[in-house]
């Protein structure tokens, strides 16, 4: 039962990264791919119907942890308190910027909110990636299951640990490059004109950055966690997921070169899911790793709810998942087609 819920928690996280990842990426790039006010409203029109619904998957992931692994949720929220607060502010600023930027027809007003939106969209994946890097590296978990992290300490993953060090920053940069690449492919699929052309060029450059940063982080992980890759190789699900994300990343580049925009975007989403899936399969059953003593780690086996809540949850969870999938499918169906230059309004409307 714990294995099932660990898989569901990992699935919720992966779906969130894929769906919210493209609007993070589009937001981080929009000052570069959109040069005029009309083009920037075009970008907002492309992501406008999706961005707030995408964040529901983050809430769903938290709900899974609350039901199945309350100790993990409690320890993680308290230990990553500073990072969580920063993430909340970033998410709030993104929403405010989208809603406020067209309330006044003033160039300075709109530039301020456009810059805020770009900065918040850039910081969000870096912070998410840094937290993810902390979970792989390990945190100063105590015997009672609690920990606390400041923003930074020694800048070394082998010294006094903070939220940021050279390893977690590398993880954050990979997350930024991967979501920006994903967002560029989304804009290439959903827009036309100069925005589409610039998005395609951005995706080409970001593909190189993703490959290089992935190789760098792989080397850093091998040095920091010598047990990580032997474990991956010994678990069929982990190496199969690794093969999937490598093939998907190559497929996204091939589809982009052939101007098959939807195929490139979908392949990028499969890459993100495969990367997260391979990591989850490798670290299982560990959910919060103790850097000092792995035996004190919080796992899906020692930090789960009792059998009754887990069993009852499996009754309603499939219903909620089906409804969420239908919602996403209908949303993309209703807003199919490319978005042209916009005339006004927060999402390009009049």
At 287-337, the pLDDT tens digits run 999 998 888 999 999 999 888 889 988 888 888 888 888 988 898 988 888
Q: Is residue 169 part of a domain?
A: yes
pLDDT at residue 124, rounded to an integer:
95
pLDDT bin (cut points 50, 70, 90) of residue 105 is: confident
- What pLDDT shows up at residue 343? 52
149: nearest Cα among 56, 232, 84, 228: 84
The predicted model gives 122-136 an average pLDDT of: 95
Place of tokens 């990580």: 228
151-204 pLDDT, tens digit per residue, is: 888 888 888 899 999 999 999 999 999 999 999 999 999 999 999 999 999 999
Answer yes or no: is pLDDT of 101 > 60: yes
Q: Tell me whether residue 69 is in a domain.
A: yes
Outline where the chain has alpha helix (H): 2-33, 37-47, 51-54, 56-68, 70-79, 81-100, 107-137, 166-190, 193-224, 228-234, 236-257, 261-283, 307-334
Residue 344 has pLDDT above 70, yes or no: no
> How many domains would you assign to the chain?
1
Tens of pLDDT, residue by residue over 242-296, are 999 999 999 999 999 999 999 999 999 999 999 999 999 999 999 999 998 888 9
Any domain includes 343: no
Model confidence pLDDT, tens digit, residues 132-145: 999 999 999 988 88
Contacts of 244 (CB under 8 A, 6+ apart): 270, 274, 277
CA–CA separation, 125 vs 20, rounded Å?
10
Instruction: Tell me the H-state helices in 225-289.
Output: 228-234, 236-257, 261-283
In a domain, 344, yes or no: no
| Interior/surface letters 229-251, b for 16+ CB within 10 angstroms, e for the rest | beebeeeeebbebbebbeebbeb
- Which range of residues forms the domain containing residue 100? 2-334
How far is residue 7 from each of residues 4, 93, 174, measured CA to CA in Å? Answer: 5, 31, 23
Within-domain flag for 347: no
Please check whether residue 202 lies inside any domain of the structure: yes
Cβ proximity of 137 and 158 under 8 Å = no
Q: What average pLDDT is seen over the chain?
A: 91
pLDDT band at 347 (very low <50, low <70, confident <90, very high): very low
- Are 261 and 46 in contact, with CB atoms under 8 Å apart? no
Query: Which residues, in sequence order, are CB contacts of 217 under 8 Å at separation 6+?
Result: 170, 171, 174
* Residue 244 belongs to a domain: yes
pLDDT (average), residues 46-56: 85
For residue 348, is pLDDT > 60?
no
Does residue 287 fall inside a structural domain?
A: yes
pLDDT at residue 29 above 50?
yes
């Amino acid at each position: 039962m714990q294995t099932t819920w660990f898989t569901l928690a990992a699935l919720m996280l992966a779906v969130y990264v894929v769906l919210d990842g493209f609007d993070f990426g589009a937001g981080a790039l929009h000052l570069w791919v959109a040069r005029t006010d009309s083009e920037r409203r075009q970008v907002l029109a492309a992501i406008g119907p999706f961005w707030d619904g995408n964040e529901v998957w983050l809430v769903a992931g938290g709900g899974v942890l609350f039901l199945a692994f309350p100790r993990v949720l409690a320890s993680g929220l308290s230990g990553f308190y500073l990072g969580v607060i920063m993430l909340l502010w970033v998410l709030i600023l993104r929403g405010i910027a989208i809603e406020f930027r067209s309330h006044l027809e003033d160039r300075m007003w709109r530039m301020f909110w456009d810059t805020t939106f770009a900065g918040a969209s850039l910081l969000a994946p870096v912070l998410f990636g840094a937290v993810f890097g902390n979970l792989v590296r390990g945190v100063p978990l105590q015997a009672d299951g609690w920990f606390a992290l400041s923003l930074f300490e020694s800048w070394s993953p082998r010294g006094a640990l903070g939220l940021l060090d050279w390893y977690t920053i590398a993880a954050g940069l990979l997350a930024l490059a991967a979501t920006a690449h994903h967002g560029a492919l989304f804009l290439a699929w959903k827009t036309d004109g100069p925005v589409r052309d610039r998005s395609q060029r951005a995706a080409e450059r970001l593909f190189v950055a993703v490959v290089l940063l992935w190789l760098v982080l792989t080397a850093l992980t091998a040095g920091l966690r010598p047990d990580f890759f032997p474990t991956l190789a010994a678990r069929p699900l982990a190496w199969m997921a690794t093969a999937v994300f490598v093939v998907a990343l190559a497929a996204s580049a091939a589809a982009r070169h052939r101007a098959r925009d939807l195929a490139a975007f979908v392949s990028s989403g499969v890459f993100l899911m495969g990367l997260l899936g391979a990591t989850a399969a490798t670290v299982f059953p560990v959910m919060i790793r103790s850097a000092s003593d792995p035996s004190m780690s919080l796992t899906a086996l020692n930090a789960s709810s009792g059998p009754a809540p887990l069993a009852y949850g499996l009754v309603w969870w499939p219903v909620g998942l089906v409804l969420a999938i239908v919602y996403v499918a209908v949303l993309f169906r209703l807003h199919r087609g490319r978005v042209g230059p916009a005339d006004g309004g927060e999402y390009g409307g009049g």
